[in-house]
């Protein structure tokens, strides 16, 4: 043991918090060893960590990464887990280089608007480097494990006395090769939109700030969403064929991930749950154990070798790097389930929020966003402005209709059905529309969506505000500076600007020439005097 290395009860932390299994790098088992959790909590007690940054009352940095996860890096380093931090960032640069790095660790990456224009969030091939970069957004709560496929084992049910998830008839351990064997389990392929509950959170922050933890309440824009085709095996089939089903007391399935999660000085493996009624619904294809994404092996950053995909729910329920599934009578007691992703209505805040007075967020409400043009864009047009974006609703409520308003929410234009991508039970629809626009100057456009259950979005963000700034389900708004060439005066001015060899943008740049000749001014004032004639 090096002289400077921390220890606990004489055991160096390099041994105490070592990788658990051969072929499982960056994975530390916390739930099985309560004494290890206590040791970590003792070592972190009183540690001087970098405080959370202020990013709501202060402008967001224009850097990329936008925010730096100082606290989580320091906590990992304190416990000798810097290897997890380093490998995670190496994986980001290898698989997600082109993203908006909203938080560098634990990694949270947002897809750029220009990369959200196809029905499936594409794989981009980098031929020179012989690698594939997936442009789907990423929302992680801990570091990225590196687990060899051949070493991977999935446990279902309780195998140890400490575990409480034994409500399956026969606990089982399965290799990935078992799950992939179609002779053992029927496979399924499902098109799924996964969306962070914080998607579009920046709209709430801009109007009414709330809880300011940069990991839990990351300032997401419109790109914390993506759609992929996942291939795997329905969990319902695995429970039936491998475990002989579940016992009558089972109401929830808990998913444990191999990533390490820090919460208020305590350590956990990532743990959430989904209701058993969700698992067994609709042939069981609503909860998938997936190993493939868009026809390619699951990338490490998206949960390789195996992840859970829970359709129609917030992305947090779709556990990555899943290695244990417990059958429970109640929802998971993991902090992500019981202490986060809670909806606090508008009278609840820092002064009175408790875990018990927030209700858990499961199915995603209807939501939509304008991707193009970007807000505060100048659009020179001939009486129509083209807009495009996405629309989504969770819980199997497919998108039925999308409408655009060019005046802040008074007059609405329906997106033609032919301008929407096909319907899916569990995936978004992309849309585009040419909106008639006569007015010039600053205009406020907004979008709203109707789903198959006639749910729609409130017009203003104040109606959707909540203390943890989740599920921004109000009509998304952008501001556009409209320049209408069908107007004679506008055409004339644009021609003058072009003759001077100038650009119209930025609109804030003053024109270097007189706005009107003296003769024209005198003629106009004579025709329409400034003051009454009598």
Does residue 387 share a domain with residue 272?
Answer: no
**Residue 322 and residue 256 in contact, taking contact as beta carbons nearer than 8 Å:** yes
Residue 131 binned pLDDT confidence (cut-offs 50, 70, 90): very low
Q: Each residue of 367-393: pLDDT tens digit?
A: 999 999 999 999 999 999 999 999 999
Q: Each residue of 152-184: pLDDT tens digit?
A: 999 999 765 445 668 999 999 999 999 999 999
Is the pLDDT confidence value at 20 over 50? Answer: yes
**Residue 226 and residue 121 in contact, taking contact as beta carbons nearer than 8 Å:** yes
| Rounded Cα distance, 48 and 71, in Å | 9
Given 360, 389, 419, the domain boundary residue is 360
pLDDT the model gives residue 512: 96
The token pair that represents 529 in the structure block: 């005097």
Asked, for residue 177, whether it belongs to a domain, the answer is yes
**Residue 469 and residue 204 in contact, taking contact as beta carbons nearer than 8 Å:** yes
Q: Any idea of the CA torsion for 166, 174, 146, 221, to the nearest 10 degrees?
A: -60
Is the pLDDT confidence value at 407 over 60? Answer: yes
Does residue 511 share a domain with residue 462?
Answer: yes
Asked, for residue 1, whether it belongs to a domain, the answer is no
% of the chain with per-residue pLDDT over 90: 89
Lowest mean pLDDT among 74-88, 128-142, 358-372, 498-512: 128-142
Total domains in the chain come to: 2
Given 360, 395, 418, the domain boundary residue is 360
pLDDT the model gives residue 120: 82
pLDDT the model gives residue 1: 44
Q: Which helix H or strand E contains 497, and what residues bound it? A: helix 488-499
| Rounded Cα distance, 181 and 239, in Å | 15
The single residue listed with the structure tokens 């069981």 is: 284
| Rounded Cα distance, 471 and 461, in Å | 11
Is the pLDDT confidence value at 434 over 50? Answer: yes
Does residue 72 share a domain with residue 98?
Answer: yes
More confident residue, 128 or 441: 441
Q: Can you give the CATH number for the domain in which 399 is found?
A: 2.60.40.650
Asked, for residue 2, whether it belongs to a domain, the answer is no
The single residue listed with the structure tokens 């790098």 is: 25
| Rounded Cα distance, 43 and 41, in Å | 5
Asked, for residue 492, whether it belongs to a domain, the answer is yes
Q: Give me the domain span that covers residue 391.
A: 365-534
Does residue 345 share a domain with residue 369?
Answer: no
Asked, for residue 385, whether it belongs to a domain, the answer is yes
Is the pLDDT confidence value at 88 over 90? Answer: yes
Given 360, 384, 399, the domain boundary residue is 360
Is the pLDDT confidence value at 467 over 80? Answer: yes
Lowest mean pLDDT among 121-125, 153-157, 480-484, 524-528: 121-125
Lowest mean pLDDT among 4-8, 216-220, 280-284, 448-452: 4-8
What does the angle CA 211 – CA 87 – CA 5 come to, to the nearest 5 degrees?
A: 90
Asked, for residue 279, whether it belongs to a domain, the answer is yes
Does residue 101 share a domain with residue 34?
Answer: yes
Does residue 160 share a domain with residue 82?
Answer: yes
What does the longest C-alpha to C-alpha distance in the chain come to?
A: 100
Task: Give all strands (DSSP E) within 225-321, no chain letters.
Answer: 225-234, 252-263, 266-275, 287-293, 296-297, 307-310
Does residue 304 share a domain with residue 427?
Answer: no
Does residue 378 share a domain with residue 260?
Answer: no
Asked, for residue 406, whether it belongs to a domain, the answer is yes
Does residue 505 share a domain with residue 492?
Answer: yes
Beta bridge partners of residue 392, listed in sequence order = 367
Does residue 283 share a domain with residue 234?
Answer: yes
DSSP 158-216: --STT---B-BSS-EEEEHHHHH-TTTS--EEEEEEEE-TTTTHHHHHHHS-----TTT
**Residue 471 and residue 464 in contact, taking contact as beta carbons nearer than 8 Å:** yes
Q: Can you give the CATH number for the domain in which 213 is found?
A: 3.90.420.10
The token pair that represents 466 in the structure block: 């909540």
pLDDT the model gives residue 128: 38
Helix (H/G/I), strand (E/B), else coil: 64? coil
Does residue 161 share a domain with residue 124?
Answer: yes
Asked, for residue 349, whether it belongs to a domain, the answer is yes
Helix (H/G/I), strand (E/B), else coil: 356? helix
The token pair that represents 37 in the structure block: 């959790």
The token pair that represents 371 in the structure block: 């991707």
Peptide bond into 506 cis (omega under 30): yes
Does residue 269 share a domain with residue 157?
Answer: yes
pLDDT the model gives residue 129: 42
Nearest to 287 by CA among 358, 392, 177, 362: 362
| Rounded Cα distance, 493 and 504, in Å | 10
Nearest to 76 by CA among 42, 52, 40, 37: 40
């Amino acid at each position: 043991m090096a002289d400077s290395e921390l220890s606990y009860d004489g055991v160096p932390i390099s041994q105490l918090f070592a990788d658990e299994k051969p072929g499982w790098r960056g994975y530390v088992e916390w739930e099985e060893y309560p004494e290890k959790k206590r040791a970590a909590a003792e070592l972190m007690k009183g540690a001087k960590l970098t405080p959370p940054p202020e990013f709501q009352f202060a402008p967001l940095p224009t850097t990329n990464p936008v925010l730096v996860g100082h606290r989580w890096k320091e906590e990992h380093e304190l416990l000798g887990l810097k290897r997890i931090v380093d490998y995670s960032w190496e994986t980001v640069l290898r698989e997600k280089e082109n993203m908006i790095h909203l938080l560098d660790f634990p990694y949270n990456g947002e897809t750029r608007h220009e990369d959200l224009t196809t029905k499936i969030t594409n794989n981009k091939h980098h031929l020179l480097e012989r690698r594939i970069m997936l442009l789907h957004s990423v929302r992680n709560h801990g570091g990225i494990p590196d687990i060899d496929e051949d070493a991977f084992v999935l446990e279902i049910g309780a195998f140890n006395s400490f575990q409480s998830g034994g409500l399956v008839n026969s606990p089982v351990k399965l290799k990935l090769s078992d799950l992939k064997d179609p002779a053992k389990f029927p496979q399924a392929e499902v098109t799924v939109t996964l969306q962070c509950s914080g998607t579009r959170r920046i709209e709430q922050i801009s109007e009414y700030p709330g809880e300011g933890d940069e990991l839990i309440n990351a300032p997401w824009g419109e790109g914390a969403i993506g759609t992929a085709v996942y291939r795997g095996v329905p969990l319902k089939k695995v429970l039936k064929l491998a475990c002989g089903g579940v016992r009558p007391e089972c109401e929830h399935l808990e998913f444990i991930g191999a990533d390490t999660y820090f919460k208020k000085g305590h350590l956990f493996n990532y743990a959430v749950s989904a209701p058993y009624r969700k698992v067994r619904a609709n042939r069981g294809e609503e909860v998938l154990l997936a190993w493939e994404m868009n026809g390619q092996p699951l990338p490490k950053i998206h949960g390789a070798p195996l992840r859970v995909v829970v359709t129609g729910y917030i992305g947090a329920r779709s556990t990555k790097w899943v290695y244990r599934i417990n059958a429970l009578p109640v929802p998971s007691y993991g902090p992500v389930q019981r202490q986060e992703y809670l909806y606090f209505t508008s009278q609840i805040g820092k002064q009175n929020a408790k875990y018990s007075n927030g209700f858990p967020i499961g199915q995603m409400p209807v939501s939509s966003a304008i991707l193009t043009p970007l807000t505060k864009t100048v659009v020179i047009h001939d009486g129509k402005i083209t807009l495009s974006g996405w629309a989504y609703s969770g819980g199997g409520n497919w998108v039925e209709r999308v409408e655009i308003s060019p005046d802040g929410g008074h007059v609405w234009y329906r997106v033609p059905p032919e301008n929407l991508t096909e319907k899916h039970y569990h995936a978004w629809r992309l849309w585009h529309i040419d909106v008639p626009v006569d007015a010039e100057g600053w205009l406020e456009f907004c979008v709203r969506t109707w789903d198959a259950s006639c749910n729609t979005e409130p017009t203003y963000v104040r109606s959707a505000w909540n203390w943890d700034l989740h599920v921004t389900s109000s009509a998304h708004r952008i501001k556009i500076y409209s320049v209408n060439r069908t107007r004679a005066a506008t055409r004339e001015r644009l021609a003058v600007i072009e003759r001077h060899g100038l650009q119209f943008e930025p609109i804030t740049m003053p024109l270097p020439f007189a706005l009107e000749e003296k003769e024209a001014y005198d003629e106009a004032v004579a025709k329409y005097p400034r003051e009454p004639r009598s």
